[in-house]
Amino acid sequence: MYRSHRNGELRIADINKEVKLCGWVQKSRDLGGMTFLDLRDRYGITQLVFNIESNKELCEQARKLGREFVIQISGTVRERSSKNKNIPTGEIEIEVNSLEVLNSSKTPPFTIEDNTDGGDELRMKYRYLDLRRNPVKENLVLRHKIGLATRNYMNNMEFLEIETPFLIKSTPEGARDFVVPSRMNSGEFYALPQSPQTFKQLLMVSGYDRYFQIVKCFRDEDLRADRQPEFTQIDCEMAFVEQEDILQTFEGLIKNLFSEVKGIKLSEVERMTYAEAMRDYGSDKPDTRFGMKFNYITDVAKGKDFKIFDEAESIIAINVEGGNSLTRKQIDKITDYVKTPQVGAKGLIYSRINEDGSFKSSVDKFFNQEELAKWAEACDSKPGDLIFVLSGDEASTQSQMNDLRLHLGNLFELRDPDTFNPLWVLDFPLLEWDEDSNRFHAMHHPFTSPKKEDFHLLESDPGKVRANAYDLVINGVEIGGGSIRIHDRDIQSRMFDLLGFTKEEAEAQFGFLMSAFEYGAPPHGGIAFGFDRICSIFGGSESIRDYIAFPKNNSGRDVMIDAPAKVDNQQLDELSLKLNLKA
């Protein structure tokens, strides 16, 4: 036995016990005749004391220990004279009577503290040291808890966790696949799954009724910030369900997780259609922790000889409560923000509502008090508020106004990190037009069922067809999405037509699924949650990378192990491959 206790365990009730502890040297202090040393492990910190009077040799040995040395000590638990209320073991210390160095340590390249001095790149190279820091450890503990709570909830709801294969088949639909050359089948390749979509649908055809899996998925995308080539999904599917059954079940999951893991009782999950979300917030994942909904003042603001408005498709205004307190300089800064390429607005118009009810706008030349009063009426503004207005084609203006709204939410600290507002966004469009390829793409995926009442539009106006598709959004972050699936071979086949698949392509790629639909496929639907994303929302961080033990950087590299790497020619030869590098 290396140890009798862990470092977070001993209390005042343990005084006079003989104990054996192991851990890392967090720090040490020499105070005259005494050396104090903080011993750290996963469970906490225990203070060790070495007294030069009672044991000179041991004390001198202790003074030689460097940071991050691994040691084992024996000693007696004593009450501390000066107690530390900040740690659970703060009332005791160990009077050490023997010490063994289990392993030494070079000086770490950065400090193993909550606020380290190590930069991002250095910490990634030495990720095994970064993982020692408390905040990183707490993230991984949180991830473990969310995973286990998810599994137990799903099990209680009679879902079965069923593993689907990782070596599957490449399909050109959606994002790019990672492929895996097959040695035993020369010239052929597996693909790593972007999601277990078709397999979970097959499990429904097989009668498994309620399936889930916490599973790694893979996408070979050019990595935008906070995307990882491998990521984890909570993947779920149910048979004999309508949309409402799914919404209820997974509201239950999210509420259960918040209550089990964070001790938070969530309120009812709000619902909103995609059309409403776009109209009121200019986003399909609105942050509903604060207001500032959009007001369309196109009718009242057009025709006043203000060219910018007159040429606009839409004129959108939002009311900033108490916004009249903004200085001219602050408004200029906000204007600079909306003019950044990332937002892309040409300018920003405002109207102050003074305390006396009069208006002062940036377009007083074109709009008189009466006309500005109409804006205020449309925005439900009060004296002391301020109205911001953007205009242009509707889609761009909505998108710009969404950015502005979130920016103001941050500025006025309306996005309370301790509030969690879950929201279902419903009735997503089935298809979206892709300018590049000049054809429709599936907005969710090709297996999503159109709404029955929109079926008649499939031929005449496919862009208008709504899907039985839904996203779960928390605080402006999409944490999951799913749909009721097509379970009819003919409809699935029509869907592939609509998406521009030839019969041969559809058969080659998804023939097995369409065949399966001929043998008694039940109505079914499901959802997938971004597990990394859920962890980051729960942990209060913006970045999923903080919740992944060994993440990759933006070029898809693991800089710690230095992967990917070259392989030798024999290996390529066995795979019947040759490099074909561009000069």
How far is residue 487's CA from residue 539's CA, in Å, rounded to a whole number?
38
Contact 110, 123 (CB under 8 A): yes
In the list 55, 195, 206, 335, the residue contacting a copy of itself (rule: CB under 8 A) is: 206
225 binds a copy of itself (CB under 8 A): no
C-alpha closest to that of 372 among 387, 392, 390, 384: 387
169 binds a copy of itself (CB under 8 A): yes
186 binds a copy of itself (CB under 8 A): yes
Residue with Cβ nearer a copy of itself (265 or 578): 578
Place of tokens 């000069």: 583
Q: How far is CA 337 from the centre of its chain?
A: 25
15 binds a copy of itself (CB under 8 A): no
Whole-number minimum distance, CB 132 to a copy of itself, in Å?
5
Encoded one letter per residue, x for contact with a copy of itself by CB under 8 A and - for no contact, window 145-164 reads --xx--xx--x----xxxxx
Residues 466-495 that bind a copy of itself (CB under 8 A): 487-488
Residue with Cβ nearer a copy of itself (170 or 273): 170
Contacts of 442 (CB under 8 A, 6+ apart): 173, 430, 431, 448, 495, 499
User: How many residues line the site for a copy of itself (CB under 8 A)?
Assistant: 124
In the list 56, 183, 439, 456, the residue contacting a copy of itself (rule: CB under 8 A) is: 183
Place of tokens 């949180």: 142
Contact 48, 75 (CB under 8 A): yes
Residue with Cβ nearer a copy of itself (259 or 576): 576
Residue with Cβ nearer a copy of itself (212 or 424): 212
Whole-number minimum distance, CB 480 to a copy of itself, in Å?
18
Residue with Cβ nearer a copy of itself (109 or 322): 109
Residues 315-334 that bind a copy of itself (CB under 8 A): none
Q: What are phi and psi of 25, to 5 degrees?
A: -75, 110
In the list 38, 122, 173, 178, the residue contacting a copy of itself (rule: CB under 8 A) is: 178
Residue with Cβ nearer a copy of itself (98 or 152): 152
User: Which range in 293-301, 399-407, 413-421, 515-523 contacts a copy of itself by CB under 8 A?
Assistant: 515-523
Whole-number minimum distance, CB 68 to a copy of itself, in Å?
4
179 binds a copy of itself (CB under 8 A): yes
Whole-number minimum distance, CB 351 to a copy of itself, in Å?
48
Contact 77, 89 (CB under 8 A): no
Whole-number minimum distance, CB 514 to a copy of itself, in Å?
12
289 binds a copy of itself (CB under 8 A): no
**Residue at 217: amino acid letter:** C
Residue with Cβ nearer a copy of itself (299 or 490): 490
Whole-number minimum distance, CB 248 to a copy of itself, in Å?
10
Structure-token pair, residue 508: 């080659």
In the list 45, 94, 205, 253, the residue contacting a copy of itself (rule: CB under 8 A) is: 205
How far is residue 60's CA from residue 82's CA, in Å, rounded to a whole number?
23
38 binds a copy of itself (CB under 8 A): no
252 binds a copy of itself (CB under 8 A): no
CA distances from 515 to 143, 505, 507, 511, 512 (A): 39, 14, 9, 6, 5
In the list 218, 424, 496, 529, the residue contacting a copy of itself (rule: CB under 8 A) is: 218
User: Which range in 202-210, 262-270, 396-404, 454-462 contacts a copy of itself by CB under 8 A?
Assistant: 202-210
C-alpha closest to that of 93 among 55, 54, 58, 48: 48
User: Which range in 102-110, 115-123, 335-343, 458-466 contacts a copy of itself by CB under 8 A?
Assistant: 102-110
CA distances from 232 to 23, 528, 566 (A): 32, 10, 27
Residues 57-96 that bind a copy of itself (CB under 8 A): 68-70
Residues 109-138 that bind a copy of itself (CB under 8 A): 126-129, 131-132, 137
Residues 551-580 that bind a copy of itself (CB under 8 A): 552, 555-558, 560-568, 571-580
Whole-number minimum distance, CB 310 to a copy of itself, in Å?
47
102 binds a copy of itself (CB under 8 A): yes
Residue with Cβ nearer a copy of itself (182 or 273): 182
In the list 167, 393, 432, 434, the residue contacting a copy of itself (rule: CB under 8 A) is: 167
345 binds a copy of itself (CB under 8 A): no
Contacts of 104 (CB under 8 A, 6+ apart): 66, 69, 70
Whole-number minimum distance, CB 40 to a copy of itself, in Å?
7
Whole-number minimum distance, CB 425 to a copy of itself, in Å?
23
Whole-number minimum distance, CB 176 to a copy of itself, in Å?
7
Contact 226, 542 (CB under 8 A): yes
Dihedral angle computed from the Cα positions of residues 75, 78, 82 and 87, in that order, rounded to the nearest 10 degrees: 70
Contacts within 8 Å (CB) and 24+ apart, 248-254: 249/157, 250/472, 250/480, 250/527, 250/529, 251/422, 251/424, 252/153, 252/157, 253/150, 253/153, 253/154, 254/422, 254/472, 254/474, 254/479
Residue with Cβ nearer a copy of itself (310 or 507): 507
| Side-by-side strand order, sheet with 524-530 | 160-161, 210-218, 230-239, 524-530, 477-484, 469-474, 422-426, 270-273
Q: What are phi and psi of 98, to 5 degrees?
A: -155, 150
106 binds a copy of itself (CB under 8 A): yes
How far is residue 269's CA from residue 426's CA, in Å, rounded to a whole number?
12
Contact 526, 534 (CB under 8 A): no
When computed from its CA atoms, the radius of gyration of the chain, rounded to whole angstroms, is: 30
Encoded one letter per residue, x for contact with a copy of itself by CB under 8 A and - for no contact, window 368-397 reads ------------------------------
Three-class DSSP category at 87: coil
How far is residue 215's CA from residue 247's CA, in Å, rounded to a whole number?
21
